[in-house]
Structure 1
Amino acid sequence: MTRHFSAFPLPDPVADHLAAALDALDVRPPLRRTPREQWHVTVGYYGAEDPHARLASLREKVAGLRAPRLRLRGSGTFASVALLVVRDSTGALEPLAEAADFAVGGHPAYSPHVTVATWSRREDRGPGERLAADLVDYSGPWWSPSALVLYASEDGRYTPVDQVGLRAPG
């Protein structure tokens, strides 16, 4: 089943910086490193909705909103995920997530992050917690996305459907 979500993909300089940091660490089974092409900051989860209707809604509610200024800084875990925390220097990210209907997917609170590794829920959390501890002081470069991308997700593959432009953060 195809599900949809909106997100900011990491620009190449940010992804390069993160890849170098992860390459310097011991990320091995039972941890599964998230592939670079899947690194993104989710803004909204929509399930199996009609993508055309969702895109129309995003264009109505999000187009022209101010882009946030973002950086990856700090780390953590939840469930079976090791993550980097997304910081916003403008205060624009949370209102943008609200406008993009973050809660449609039933998620209780917006907690922007980038998943860097996962493990089976049956496995020990220790390796994931160690990875998060190794990344606690990580601080990536700042960036501002120019658009919010609507993705289709099926069988672990993320395919961009379309995007909605944002206003520069300044």
Structure 2
Amino acid sequence: MTRLFVAVFPSEEAREHLRHRLRPVPARRSEKWHVTLVFLGDVPDDAAVVRALSETPPPAPFSLRLSGGGRFGPVVWAGLEGDVPALHTCQAAVRSSLATVGFPSDPRPFRPHLTVSYRFDRRLAAALTGYTGPPWTIEEFSLVSSVDGEYHRLWTG
């Protein structure tokens, strides 16, 4: 079984900008920073997921930027601004495509964010206060597997 999720990834410029803002406070590795659209968990057949996603139209290009932050318990996250309604539309399309082939997703409302750290640190929270990063363009989403804490993009469209 493979733990799968569908996500969009900030540009390298956006990740580097945030990484610079957070230095020298420990945070998650920036190459793992993403915005989860749908978390699927353990999936026995990722080929079926790829087929469903390949039939989902890619989003029309839209722009986001990392902005501010907050926390869920010990989790520290960066918020988003820009064309967030387009991100919601993209997430709904992915979720719908996956549901039609039997992959239901979390029924909770979509609250887009980028997890910076799974361990609360006041310095991270302070660094995110008032933060606004550079915009980046979303034109695709990716199916990602998580194996032993490493991420592998299985499909992008």
TM range (shorter): 0.7 to 0.9
Secondary structure of the equivalent of 1:147? coil
Contact 1:47 1:105 in 2 (8 A): no
Which stretch shows the higher mean deviation, 48-57 or 103-112?
103-112
Matched, 1:108 2:108: yes
Matched, 1:58 2:45: no
Secondary structure of the equivalent of 1:48? strand
Deviation at 1:52, TM superposition (A): 1.4
Secondary structure of the equivalent of 1:100? helix
Q: Pick from 127, 135, 138 the counterpart of residue 142 of structure 1.
A: 135
Q: Aligned ranges for residues 72-111 of structure 1 at < 5 Å? A: 72-89=66-83, 91-101=85-95, 104-111=104-111
Secondary structure of the equivalent of 2:137? coil
Structure 1 unpaired stretches of 5+: 120-124, 165-170
Matched, 1:15 2:8: no
Deviation at 1:65, TM superposition (A): 2.9
Contact 2:5 2:144 in 1 (8 A): yes
Structure 2 unpaired stretches of 5+: none
Match of 1:168 in 2: none
d(CA) in 1 for partners of 2:125, 2:62: 25
- Work out the number of aligned pairs and report it: 150
TM-score w.r.t. length of structure 1: 0.79
**Percent identity among equivalent residues?**
32
Q: Pick from 145, 148, 151 the counterpart of residue 158 of structure 1.
A: 151
Match of 2:125 in 1: 132
Kindly report structure 1 stretches of 4+ aligned residues shifted beyond 4 Å.
Answer: none
Aligned in 2, Cα 1:75/1:161: closer, same or farther, shift over 3 Å? same
